Structure 1
């Protein structure tokens, strides 16, 4: 067993978006060919989304993850072979098995035999993965973790359903989390309530070589909205209380980028000015487990998020799952 590090800290961030950027108008034009009516105004007014990116037919979730991972590793300035834990949060894995994390490990050429696993908590996946990696590092089992959120949600969208197909996009975000003598992950809180599984799900599985059930995403939008607004405010306050800090001390709020109205509600509940919230949903859409690390990397690279600042990240997704972490950058 390695020597214990009392804390873990983010040392590098990275992200990747597929080349195919699809505006609301371009998507509306494509849907019109299916006799599905929507418009840029309809989508933007309800969600805040203006565009999203879709993976090319030959791109897999692992490919998106690898691009983001390489950028995070470069930013951290470490040897990839020193990464002894890879966690990929995804609801759209390359295969039933092996895990996407194992595929990413191979594509990155990491041959040290470190652990690799997937986490499935849908849009909360990155928060779950980050808290898991933090626990592993603080236990002394691992020293450097690569934590990735990556999704190809375009593969599970029903393009005859305008209430869902306009919401989601593809992409990946990654962080390198390393053992540290200085606290980086100050507090985390994870929750789930499986009694709400049916309000956001893909109710299908592989049985006898074919899909049994429905392989497309299904969502009760009003139920999801109501639950998300309720739990996100509560879990944000929970992690602040765990860390012994107040909302006023938060420099940046990075919520799951699902819907601008949900995000604004959380910001108001915390009493934070809108200028302290990182927003990428307009350009990325809802990228599920990728949305928080994508937004974090954007804000790090454009200079908004600075070393030493306090960042609150949170997510909510199917399961029903939700969680938050408080980060010292």
Structure 2
């Protein structure tokens, strides 16, 4: 018996925010001092490093749980699955439901419970819970779902990654331009079909790295002191990712029994274009190879960094032939990989 993704779905918010929309922002350094250059220079440097030209923000009347429901409905329809037959609903997020212009995160009931409610599932044996694991949360959800199946505790799971980072960004922080919103979902099932999850690798580095991503006050010193926003140490994260993600990917591939030459696509967390390119380059260098062209699909240019939603959204778009020159064929070996708050790293080798 193999464990495979039988359906995919995603929700890409309608509100498009371009880089030019940040021209009128007042950016400050972490210590409250102003930037020496004008915003056009700041934005140009930002694009050169991250590759981001625009990002998506969810509509004012929606929350993280709403996006999760829409992505879930699409995945269930794609799989032809009756929601009542689900054993688990696992939702990866980090900040819960934060209403437009609110300062509170709402996580009770859990996002998974809200998804189950809106799907109108009556079966009490369909268990819903949330995963807080930084940006790698959706991949970790897949790893957990697989474990339930291998243990005989489940046959069918819905795994969702949903996040609304636009609700927790500090508009006076240059890093706010990275973040975006979205949701992606898959149905994972036991099947006789060949392939599926072949191996996984996961780890948490917290001894020195726990606070590379954290909640902190605004960079603007005059802002209310009781408000907190997502903050990150970009340089530390970049160095950490290059040191640890390629190694985790290599271990995962070795455990799968597949060769680097079997690998057709790497679906990596859309964190930063330059960082992702460097990770892929180093991963292939560990095998004394150069990274093939087109091995790494990218959506960050248009969709930004939507945390847990980036990998499942990217996978859904490729599976449904919505990204030019990026297709999959049955039997293709791919990898999911991510890095984020924790600092957490994980990877999965998967045969399509």
TM-score (norm 2): 0.85
Deviation at 1:212, TM superposition (A): 9.4
Deviation at 1:197, TM superposition (A): 1.3
Verify the 8 A CA contact 1:264 1:274 in the aligned structure 2.
no
Deviation at 1:57, TM superposition (A): 2.2
1:208 equivalent in structure 2:
none
2:240 equivalent in structure 1:
227
SS in 1 for 2:247: helix
SS in 2 for 1:217: strand
Quickly say closer, same or farther: Cα 1:81–1:267, change in 2 above 3 A.
same
- The structure 1 residue matched to 2:128, chosen from 103, 113, 116, is 116
1:305 equivalent in structure 2:
328
Mapped pair 1:126 → 2:138: yes
2:39 equivalent in structure 1:
38
Moved more, 250-259 or 214-223: 214-223
Mapped pair 1:239 → 2:252: yes
2:345 equivalent in structure 1:
322
CA distance in 2, matches of 1:188, 1:213: 40
CA distance in 1, matches of 2:44, 2:225: 36
Mapped pair 1:281 → 2:300: yes
1:1-329 matches, within 5 Å, as: 6-26=1-21, 28-31=22-25, 37-39=38-40, 40-94=43-97, 95-113=106-124, 114-162=126-174, 164-181=175-192, 182-195=194-207, 196-202=209-215, 215-269=228-282, 270=284, 271-302=290-321, 304-329=327-352
SS in 2 for 1:308: coil
CA distance in 2, matches of 1:10, 1:127: 12
Deviation at 1:198, TM superposition (A): 1.2
CA distance in 1, matches of 2:341, 2:272: 15
In the alignment of these two chains, the number of paired residues is 316
Deviation at 1:306, TM superposition (A): 2.6
CA distance in 2, matches of 1:120, 1:214: 21
Deviation at 1:15, TM superposition (A): 0.6
SS in 2 for 1:31: coil
Structure 2: gaps of 5 or more residues: 29-33, 98-105, 218-223, 285-289
Q: Tell me which protein shows more helix as a share of its residues.
A: 1
Structure 1: gaps of 5 or more residues: 1-5, 205-210
CA distance in 2, matches of 1:146, 1:11: 10
